[in-house]
Copies of this chain bind each other. A is one copy, B any other.
Amino acid sequence: MLFNNNIHLDSISSTNNFLLSLRKNNIFSEGLYVTTDFQENGKGQMNNSWESEKKNNLLISILIEPKISINNIFDINRLVCLSIFDLLKLYGINALIKWPNDIIINNRKIAGVLIENIFSNNIISHSIIGIGLNINQGKFLQYSPPATSMFLELINNFHTHQIKQQLLDIIEVRYKKLKIGYSDLNEYNNKLYLLEKSFRFMSNNKQFYGRIKTTLDNGTLVIYDESNGVEREFLNSELKYIF
> Which of A2-10, A95-103, A168-176 touches B?
A2-10
Question: Which of B5, B22, B25 contacts A10, CB < 8 Å?
Answer: B5
Q: A9: which B residues are within 8 A, CB to CB?
A: 4-6, 27
Q: A7: which B residues are within 8 A, CB to CB?
A: 5-8, 27
Task: State the CA gap A4–B10 with chains docked (Å).
Answer: 5
Q: Mark A12-38, 1 if CB is under 8 A from B, else 0.
A: 000000100110011100010000010
Q: Mark A85-113, 1 if CB is under 8 A from B, else 0.
A: 00000000000000000000000000000
Task: State the CA gap A151–B201 with chains docked (Å).
Answer: 63
Q: A25: which B residues are within 8 A, CB to CB?
A: 21-22, 25
Task: State the CA gap A179–B50 with chains docked (Å).
Answer: 38
Q: A5: which B residues are within 8 A, CB to CB?
A: 7-10
Question: In this complex, what residue of B is CB-closest to A161?
Answer: B161
Among A7, A21, A31, chain B packs the most CB atoms within 10 A around the CB of A7
A selection of 23 A-B contacts at a CB cut-off of 8 Å is: A4-B9, A4-B10, A4-B11, A4-B37, A5-B7, A5-B8, A5-B9, A5-B10, A6-B6, A6-B7, A6-B8, A6-B9, A7-B7, A7-B8, A7-B27, A8-B8, A9-B27, A10-B31, A18-B27, A21-B25, A21-B26, A22-B25, A25-B25
